[in-house]
């Protein structure tokens, strides 16, 4: 008997030992989330903001979702499409990430979408890339977008500009996919209302001297629509100011041009500029104030578009993960959970359309001096804007992709 007890005790102990790793694994196997952002070069600041946004979101969960720890893998894509694809491949194949947040810039998003079939066991939540066709003209089951489509926030701005009496616009944008869509959305709405284009300027990224454009602007136009980013927009506005041209035209800004960073640098020069965005600097919501405060403690300025966009994508991922009890290995369930998401974020409610593109509120912002800081203040809200605005999706996708020359409506 004694021997039996001893043997069974040993057997039980051995069983227990065998089960230990399995138990421990079940407890601690992390959810691996890859972050693709631009951390070097001209967009470095945006990338840093993006990573901040992701971290701010997961801090709210204490880096633990449904009992499983969250592990972040951050990669720099250098704003280059093929690098973005390589880094995405490394995150999925080498690190075993099941969810990818990113990439950041326009062409990167398209490149990752094109290669998305390589990674059926990972879901890519495009966080900031606003290139047109990420969720149009053919979709991938594992590519979702919480960020806006390039034209999405610009339809309302085009209409707003027309309704406030502006008829002849000059557009100035950088010469690549994102500004094509951004300018395109504005013009599609503006032209259909009856406005016209006095001149279009496309400049390479990193253009430093705008004097020749500023001195050449058509005098009969009444507004300028601006889609420049980073140092380009700062150079342009500084030189506009030095030429004494700031009051001559009403300036309308795209989402990236008149963002929090631009306001911090330019200050009073940009006072009163109206822009369209899916982000803002002032909104009556508790979650926005606390997010803005936490970001402010980190960087000492108001939270901007890119931190907001990545925060949003991380929150959407976290909510979908909670819904499926953290079982990220079941990608089908995860995607289904994404599809049914109805998330009230700091500035906007987020739902997905059938093309896996988020619907979101669009704001018309005006730059104002609030409590010692320059901030974008909402002057009008267009709730739950779809990527197709009010158009029929099927008809819409038949139109050509946005380019330098489409859409266009030159003034007679």
Partner 1 sequence: MNQILIQFMNGITYAGLLFMIASGFTLIFGVMRVINMSHGAFYILGAYMAYTIQKQTGNWLYGIIIGSITVGITAYIVRLLVSRVKGDLPQTVLTLGISMMIADLCLYIWGGLPRTVGEPMFTSTPIPFAGLTYPAFRFFVLALALVVGGTMWYMLQRTQLGRILRAGTDNRSMTSALGINIDRIFTLVFILTGFITGLSGAVGGTYIAFGPGSDFSILTYALVVVIMGGMGSIAGSALGALIVGLVDSFGRAYVHEVAIFLLMGTLIIVLAFRPRGLLGREE
Residue numbers of the site for partner 1 (CB under 8 A)? 40-46, 48, 175, 201-204, 206-213, 215-216, 230-232, 234-235, 238-239, 242-244, 261, 264-265, 404
Q: Which is nearer to partner 1, 213 or 378 (CB)?
A: 213
DSSP symbols for 303-364: --HHHHHHHHHHHHHHHHHHHTTT-TT-HHHHHHHHHT--EE-SS-EEEE-TTSBEEEEEEE
Strands 31-37 and 68-76: parallel
| Residue 73: half-sphere exposure toward Cβ, Cα within 13 Å | 19
Closest C-alpha to 127, from 174, 88, 172: 88
Q: Which is nearer to partner 1, 269 or 411 (CB)?
A: 269
Strands 274-277 and 358-370: antiparallel
Whole-number minimum distance, CB 263 to partner 1, in Å? 11
Number of other residues whose CB lies within 10 A of the CB of residue 260: 26
Burial of 33 (0-12, 13-18, 19+ CB in 10 A): buried
As a whole number of angstroms, the distance between CA 233 and CA 208 comes to 10
Cβ atoms of 206 and 42 closer than 8 Å: yes
- Phi and psi based region of residue 164 (left: phi greater than 0; alpha: psi -120 to 50; beta: remaining): alpha
As a whole number of angstroms, the distance between CA 147 and CA 251 comes to 24
Cβ atoms of 230 and 259 closer than 8 Å: no
Strands 358-370 and 349-352: antiparallel
As a whole number of angstroms, the distance between CA 43 and CA 37 comes to 9
As a whole number of angstroms, the distance between CA 108 and CA 127 comes to 11
- 394's CB contacts (< 8 A; 6+ apart) are none
Q: For residue 274, give both structure tokens.
A: 């109206």
Cβ atoms of 277 and 153 closer than 8 Å: yes
Q: In angstroms, what CA-CA distances link 8 with 2, 23, 75?
A: 10, 21, 52
């Amino acid at each position: 008997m004694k021997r039996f007890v001893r043997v069974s005790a040993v057997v039980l102990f051995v069983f227990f030992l065998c089960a230990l790793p399995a138990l421990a694994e079940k407890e601690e196997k992390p959810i691996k989330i890859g972050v693709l952002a631009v951390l070097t070069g001209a967009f470095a600041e945006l990338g840093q903001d993006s990573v901040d946004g992701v971290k701010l979101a997961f801090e709210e969960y204490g880096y633990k979702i449904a009992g499983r720890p969250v592990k972040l893998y951050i990669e720099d894509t250098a704003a280059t499409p093929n690098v973005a694809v390589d880094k995405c491949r490394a995150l999925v194949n080498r690190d075993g990430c099941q969810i990818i947040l990113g990439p950041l810039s326009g062409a990167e998003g398209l490149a990752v979408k094109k290669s998305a079939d390589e990674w059926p066991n990972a879901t890519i939540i495009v966080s900031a890339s606003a290139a047109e066709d990420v969720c149009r003209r053919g979709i991938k089951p594992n590519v979702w977008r919480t960020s806006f489509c390039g034209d999405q926030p610009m339809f309302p701005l085009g209409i707003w500009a027309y309704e406030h009496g502006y008829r002849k616009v000059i557009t100035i944008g950088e010469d690549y996919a994102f500004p094509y869509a951004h300018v395109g959305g504005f013009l599609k709405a503006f032209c259909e209302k009856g406005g016209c284009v006095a001149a279009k300027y496309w400049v390479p990224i990193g253009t430093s001297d705008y004097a020749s454009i500023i001195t050449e602007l058509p005098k009969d136009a009444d507004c300028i629509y601006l889609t420049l980013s980073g140092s380009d927009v700062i150079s342009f506005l500084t030189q506009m100011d030095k030429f004494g041209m700031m009051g001559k035209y009403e300036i309308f800004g795209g989402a990236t041009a008149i963002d929090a960073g631009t306001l911090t640098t330019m200050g009073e020069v940009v006072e009163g500029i109206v822009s369209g965005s899916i982000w803002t600097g002032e909104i009556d919501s508790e979650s926005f104030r606390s997010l803005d405060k936490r970001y402010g403690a980190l960087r000492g300025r108001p939270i901007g578009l890119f931190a907001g966009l990545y925060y949003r994508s991380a929150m959407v991922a976290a909510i979908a993960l909670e819904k499926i009890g953290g079982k990220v290995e079941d990608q089908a369930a995860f995607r289904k959970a994404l599809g049914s998401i109805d998330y009230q974020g700091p500035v906007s409610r987020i739902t997905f359309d059938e093309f896996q593109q988020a619907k979101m509120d669009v704001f018309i912002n005006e730059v104002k001096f609030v409590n010692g800081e320059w901030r974008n203040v909402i002057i009008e809200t267009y709730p739950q804007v779809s990527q197709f605005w009010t158009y029929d999706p099927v008809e819409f996708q038949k139109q050509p992709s946005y380019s330098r020359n489409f859409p266009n409506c030159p003034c007679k």
